[in-house]
Amino acid sequence: MMTFCEECHEMVAYSTKNVTMEKEIKGKKIEFEAKEAFCPTCKGSLFVASVRDYNLKQMDTAFRTAENLINVDEIQQILDNYNIGKRPLSVLLGWGEVTITRYLDGAIPTKQYSEKLFDILNNPENMDSILESNKHLIADAAYRKGKEALARIKSSELLELSSENKIDSITKYMLINLVEITPLALQKLLYYAQGFNKVFNGTFLFQDDCQAWAHGPVYSEIYHKYKDFGYNPIDLAVSYDESAFNILNSEKEVLDTVIRNFGCYSGKILERMTHSEHPWLVTRNGLSDDSPSNEVIEKELISNYFEQIKQKYNMLSTSDASDYSKDLFEKLFN
C-alpha cells in the first residue's frame, strides 16, 4: 500500500492506526471509529483515498445508528429480497423516481422515509399490499418479479430459510465458482467465509456450529453430505439459479474473496493454515493433531480472531484478505 508523502517528497508504504473521530452532522456531534494513514518515515498524516472512503462510511454508519435511520446495505437488501429495481420501488412508495438511487448513492433519508423502508424490509406482507395497490404505476414485468419474490418469501424459500439451507446455498455457490474442490478444502473455505463475513458485514453467514476436528474446522452436516468423495474433488452437477440462493450481494463479495484468495490452495494446505490459527488451537486445548474431537469452536472465538486479523492487516475492504492469505502461506511453507 503506497502513497505520496508531501513531507518526504516520495512514495512511501504507509501504515494506518485506529483513531476516534468526531464530526457534527445536522447539528449533532457524532463519534466514530476511524483510521488515520501516516508516513513511517516522518510520522506525518497522509491523505489516502481508500482511508477517506472508509472513514466516510464509518461516519455515515455511526450517524444512521444514532438516529435509527436505515443504511445503504439495508436498502439494497430490500431490492434484493423483492427482486425490484430502484425506480419501480420509488414509484410504488409514491416518491420521486430517483429517490432510491439517491439513497443508494449515500443520501440520508428523512426519519419518515426511513421508517417506511424499515417497514417493508421487515414486513413482506406490507410490501405485498403496496405492490397490489400501486401495480398500475409500474411495468407488468416489475410487478410479476415482485410477486414471485414475495411468493418465495412466504413459502420460506428466501427470508425464512433454515440455517441448514443457508449453508447449503453457500456450499453450492462455492461448488459452482471453483474449478474443483475437495471435501477437505470445502470445509476450510466455509470456515474462512464465516469469519470474514462476520468482520466485514457484521453477521455470520449461517448459524451452524463449527467443530475442531483433527483435520481442522469442520461443519459436520456438510461433511456427511460430501464425505463419499474422500480426498477427490466433489464431482456433482450443480445448476446456477441465482434466485434459489439466499445470498446477499455483500455476502457474495466475501465469498468471491475467499474463493479467489483461499480457494487457490489445496485442502491439505488449508488444513495447515487453520491448524496455525487461534480458534482451532484453543478449542483443541492441547490435543495431538490426530486426536478425534467434536468440540465446538465458539463463534465468539472466530469473530474475535478475524477481527484481530482485520486490524492487524489494516483491511479496509474484502479484497485486502489477500494480504493475510499470502502472508500465512509464506510463513508456513517458505
The per-residue pLDDT for range 185-206, each reduced to its tens digit, is 999 999 999 999 999 998 999 9
Averaged over 12-23, what is the pLDDT?
91
Buried b (16+ CB within 10 A) or exposed e, 152-187: bbeeeebeebeeebbbbbbbbbbbebbeebbbbbbb
- In the predicted model, what is the mean pLDDT of residues 9-23? 91
User: What average pLDDT does the structure give for the chain?
Assistant: 90
Consecutive H or E run containing 296: strand 296-297
Q: How far apart are CA 307 and CA 189, in angstroms?
A: 17
Q: Is the pLDDT of residue 46 over 90?
A: yes
Read off the pLDDT of each residue in 7-18 and give the average, rounded to a whole number.
Answer: 92
Instruction: Find the farthest-apart pair of alpha carbons in the chain and give their distance in angstroms, rounded.
Output: 67
Confidence of residue 161 (pLDDT cuts 50, 70, 90): very low
| Gap between the Cα atoms of 59 and 53, Å rounded | 10
> Tens of pLDDT along 249-281?
889 999 999 999 999 999 999 999 999 999 999
pTM of the model: 0.57
pLDDT of residue 158: 43
Query: What mean pLDDT do residues 215-229 have?
Result: 92
Percent of the chain with pLDDT over 70: 95
pLDDT confidence tier of residue 305, bands split at 50, 70 and 90 = very high
Residue 287 has a pLDDT of 86
Cell of 72: 445503504
Least confident interval from 130-134, 286-290, 291-295, 322-326: 286-290
Which of 299, 271, 296 lies closest to 284, judged by CA?
296
Q: Residue 164 pLDDT more than 70?
A: no
Least confident of 222-226, 254-258, 285-289: 285-289
Least confident range from 22-36, 147-161, 251-265: namely 147-161
Per-domain boundaries in the chain: 2-67, 72-154, 163-333
At 62-121, the pLDDT tens digits run 888 888 899 888 999 999 999 999 999 999 999 999 999 999 998 999 999 999 999 999
Lowest mean pLDDT among 7-11, 233-237, 275-279: 233-237
DSSP SS3 for 172: helix
- In this prediction, residue 157 has a pLDDT band, given cuts at 50, 70 and 90, of very low
Higher per-residue pLDDT: 52 or 162: 52
At a CB cut-off of 8 Å and minimum separation 6, what does 21 contact?
A: 31, 32, 33, 34, 55, 59
What is residue 239's predicted lDDT score, i.e. its pLDDT? 66
Q: What CATH architecture does domain 2-67 belong to?
A: Roll (3.10)
Band (162; pLDDT cuts 50, 70, 90): very low
